[in-house]
Amino acid sequence: MTPVSLALTVLLAPLVSAAVIAVFLRRAGTLAAVVSVAAAAVIAAGAFTLAFGGARFEVATPWLQLGSFTLSLGFKFDDLAALMLVIVALIGLCVHVFSLGYMHDDEAKGRYFGGLSVFMFSMLGIVLADNLFMMFIFWELVGFSSWLLINHWHERLSASDAAKKAFVTNRVGDFGFLLGIILCYWLNGTVSLSELAHGHVSSRLIPLLLFCGAVGKSAQMPLQVWLPDAMEGPTPVSALIHAATMVAAGIYMLCRINVLMVPDALTVIMWVGTATALYAACCAIAQRDIKKVLAYSTLSQLGYMVAAFGLGSLAVEHDGHRAVIAAGVGAAMFHLATHAYFKALLFLGSGSVIHGCHHEQDIFRMGGLRTRMPLTFWTFTAGVAAIIGLPFLAGFFSKDAILYLAYANNRAVFAVLAFTAVLTALYMTRLWRITFFGEPRSEAADHAHEGGLTLTLPLVVLAVLAVVGGYAAHYPAGFGGVFSQIPEAEGSDHLAILATSLVVLLLGAGTALSFYRPAAQDALEARFPGLHRLLASKLWFDEIYGYYIAKVQQRFALLLNYLEQILLAGFVIRGLVAGVVTYVGVAARRLHVGRLNVYVYWFLFGVVALWLFAAGVF
């Protein structure tokens, strides 16, 4: 099998799976699960063969041609795509297997696994796309599959609302994304990633418009509101889509269009990411729902990646000669990879906890799970250790790369990101301690139990990756093109960064350990209610948007509707055509006798008369 046809197989396997499930297996949930997992296994096998087999290629075929406009579909499989493909395939397989256990008793398993397959298809399309139009196509499809899976328990109003909110918010971002692509097409005459790399018109507007897409999909401020609500979906979905892969697509897209970046655009991107990282970390401290804590943590980490990308390139000395590396891309992708492992692990761990506690999600009603769910505890611990940057775990390396880049390029950003890291250590340790330690604080937690093999095996695999994933950067065999761009501190900078990250870790985790006790009440709420209320408010983003939608947009729509009904239908048009209508009306009333056949006869009579006249009969 040639690499191209293998890539095609990888892309189409989940589509076939989704189609088969939709057409034949809607009611046969178990069989649907098998088909979907098999597709995920095919993807994983193909992805590893492609990525580590060394094949790198580009192909394209025109798909829609109108005049001089050609939209093609194609693959651009370079090191960046290979890295992303491996991440998506690996996490995808883990989540599919986990879902076998987690969704075992669900009534709509067919729809769920079909949705997972649709998602895999869409996500792989983004990864492999060789041009921006194709990326946009799959970008939209990813938004749809996200809608489908958040909406899985559709009889819950909250799930249905969250799904709608996610799709619409993403569309707001896509509005800019699409305009950016169109502008890029007209300015450069092409949207092919490789052709753009060879030469393009420098523009500030294009990268910023394209960035809008990333703001939507990666839930950056001010469009971050949909991601916490998206936790209404089943937990494996949160792990796959709303933590590890889809939300990272925004960062991946930015790295794909790195060549189009200009300094001004990068500055904007950097500050958006930095603000999101800090904002979300603050929000995470006051959450009670285990998934919501992780959701805000995801937002914060995505902000980290966006900020890293925005920090841009770095001049380094290498073997005595100076070179400029795309450090932003390297650091962002590195963190994307490690984050995918440990955040998927944490989400699946939380799924295991929720499953064990019979769908209890409030951490203050848990406790004592360390002994009741030991495997989940230890793997979760690995995840927490990785995210807070415990030395030599995955998160430590990738976070240090970002901190160093910030240290070298922008000290203000460095300060904010370092403070965010303190908060990260704080809220993750809080979550860990309250969930797993102390006495069980509810019936459900008391009866908690470990799940079956399908639940635990993915946890172990991901825990291993969370521990060793950081060393991938030192093993650049498959992904040299990306990992060679990772900034590495040397000399005194190295010491400064190391010291910073250790201080940050000790400060955050230490505060959490001394401040929070496994108890039924939030210590912050008890001791600093004002601060807690501020953090829990999330700065009223939802309220402000809600006010806009209900009081401005909807009222404006109602006003227009009112005008439409009264003015247009009743007055203006009638006034304009009054003359005509009156005459037609008078004539029509004579004929208007209310019987159908009369009209038909009149019509036929008219047609025949006209015809005879025209044909020259009389």
Partner 1 sequence: MSNLPFDPLLFSIATPLAVAFVIALGLPKRWSVRLAYVGFTAPALLALWTWCNYGAAPQQQGYAFLRTYSTGLDQLGIRLTLGLNGISLPLFVLAGLVGLAAGLYAIQSGAERLKIYLMLLLVMLAGLMGVFASVDIFYFYFFHELALIPSFIMVGVWGTRGPSENSYAAMKMTIYLTLGAMLSLLGLIALYVKSGASGAHSFNLITLREIIAAQPLEVTLQQNIFALLLFGFGILVSLWPLHTWAPLGYGAAPSSAAMLHAGVLKKFGLYGLVQIALPLLPAGIAHWGWLLGLLAVVGNVLVVGLITMAQRDLKQVVGYSSVMHMGYAFLGVATCSTLGVGGVVLLMVAHGLSVALLFLLATSIHQRTHTFDLQEMGGLAQKTPVLAGFFVAGTFASVGLPGFANFWGELAIFVAAWRFSPLFTVLAVAGVVISAIYGLRAAARVFFGPSTDALAKVTAVHPPTDLGWSERLPALILLGALFFVGFWPQSISRPLNATLAAVYAPANPAAK
Question: Which spans of this chain sit near partner 1 (rule: CB under 8 A)?
Answer: 22, 26, 63-69, 71, 108, 111, 133, 136-138, 140-141, 144, 147, 151, 154-157, 159-161, 163-164, 167-168, 171-172, 174-175, 178-179, 182-183, 185-186, 553-554, 556-558, 560-561, 564, 568-569, 572-573, 577, 580-581, 584, 588, 596, 599-600, 603, 611, 614-616
Q: How far is the CB of 591 from partner 1 (least distance, A)?
A: 12
The upper half-sphere exposure of residue 581, i.e. CA atoms within 13 Å in the direction of its Cβ, equals 6
Q: How far is the CB of 144 from partner 1 (least distance, A)?
A: 6
How far are the Cα atoms of 309, 315, 483, 487 from residue 322, in angstroms, in the given order? 21, 7, 18, 14
Q: Of the two residues 137 and 505, which places its CB atom closer to partner 1 in the complex? A: 137
Q: Of the two residues 324 and 588, which places its CB atom closer to partner 1 in the complex? A: 588
Q: How far is the CB of 156 from partner 1 (least distance, A)?
A: 7
How far are the Cα atoms of 82, 243, 546, 551, 565 from residue 559, in angstroms, in the given order? 52, 40, 18, 12, 10
Q: Of the two residues 21 and 401, which places its CB atom closer to partner 1 in the complex? A: 21
Q: Of the two residues 183 and 464, which places its CB atom closer to partner 1 in the complex? A: 183
Q: How far is the CB of 616 from partner 1 (least distance, A)?
A: 6
**Pairwise CA distance, residues 481 & 476, whole Å:** 8
Residue 66, beta-bridge partner list = 69
Q: How far is the CB of 295 from partner 1 (least distance, A)?
A: 22
Q: Of the two residues 202 and 561, which places its CB atom closer to partner 1 in the complex? A: 561
Q: Of the two residues 26 and 56, which places its CB atom closer to partner 1 in the complex? A: 26
How many Å separate Cα 310 from the centre of its chain?
A: 19
How far are the Cα atoms of 98, 131, 177, 244 from residue 174, in angstroms, in the given order? 31, 16, 5, 20
Q: Of the two residues 359 and 595, which places its CB atom closer to partner 1 in the complex? A: 595
Q: How far is the CB of 33 from partner 1 (least distance, A)?
A: 18
**Pairwise CA distance, residues 448 & 350, whole Å:** 13
Q: Of the two residues 108 and 507, which places its CB atom closer to partner 1 in the complex? A: 108
Q: Of the two residues 526 and 557, which places its CB atom closer to partner 1 in the complex? A: 557
Q: Taking CA 283 as the corner, what is the angle to CA 282 and CA 288, rounded to the nearest 5 degrees? A: 125
Q: How far is the CB of 611 from partner 1 (least distance, A)?
A: 8
Q: Of the two residues 474 and 595, which places its CB atom closer to partner 1 in the complex? A: 595
**Pairwise CA distance, residues 62 & 500, whole Å:** 52
**Pairwise CA distance, residues 188 & 207, whole Å:** 13
Q: Of the two residues 415 and 558, which places its CB atom closer to partner 1 in the complex? A: 558
Residue 509, beta-bridge partner list = none
Close Cβ partners of 295 (under 8 Å, ≥ 6 residues apart): 227, 228, 230, 231, 238, 242, 243
Residue 362, beta-bridge partner list = 289
Under DSSP, is residue 64 helix (H, G, I), strand (E, B) or coil? strand
Q: Of the two residues 77 and 147, which places its CB atom closer to partner 1 in the complex? A: 147
Residue 72, beta-bridge partner list = 62
Tokens, residue 599 = 């009209």
Q: Of the two residues 64 and 539, which places its CB atom closer to partner 1 in the complex? A: 64
Report phi then psi at 325, rounded to 5.
-110, 150
Per DSSP, the residues of 67-123 read TTEEEEEEEEE-HHHHHHHHHHHHHHHHHHHHHHHHTTT-TTHHHHHHHHHHHHHHH
Left, alpha or beta for 200 (phi > 0: left; psi -120 to 50: alpha)?
A: beta
Taking the CA atoms of the chain, what radius of gyration do you get in angstroms? 28
Tokens, residue 223 = 């469009």
Neighbours of 600 (CB within 10 A): 10
Close Cβ partners of 593 (under 8 Å, ≥ 6 residues apart): none
Q: Of the two residues 412 and 577, which places its CB atom closer to partner 1 in the complex? A: 577
Under DSSP, is residue 316 helix (H, G, I), strand (E, B) or coil? strand
Q: How far is the CB of 556 from partner 1 (least distance, A)?
A: 6
How far are the Cα atoms of 77, 339, 462, 475, 546 from residue 51, in angstroms, in the given order? 9, 20, 19, 13, 45
Q: How far is the CB of 105 from partner 1 (least distance, A)?
A: 17
Q: Of the two residues 8 and 496, which places its CB atom closer to partner 1 in the complex? A: 8
The structure tokens 């769908």 sit at 359
Q: How far is the CB of 197 from partner 1 (least distance, A)?
A: 22
Q: How far is the CB of 546 from partner 1 (least distance, A)?
A: 14
Which sign, positive or negative, has the C-alpha torsion 519, 521, 526, 529? positive
Q: How far is the CB of 500 from partner 1 (least distance, A)?
A: 42
Q: How far is the CB of 123 from partner 1 (least distance, A)?
A: 14
Report phi then psi at 62, rounded to 5.
-65, 140
Q: How far is the CB of 366 from partner 1 (least distance, A)?
A: 28
Q: How far is the CB of 200 from partner 1 (least distance, A)?
A: 17
**Pairwise CA distance, residues 290 & 433, whole Å:** 12
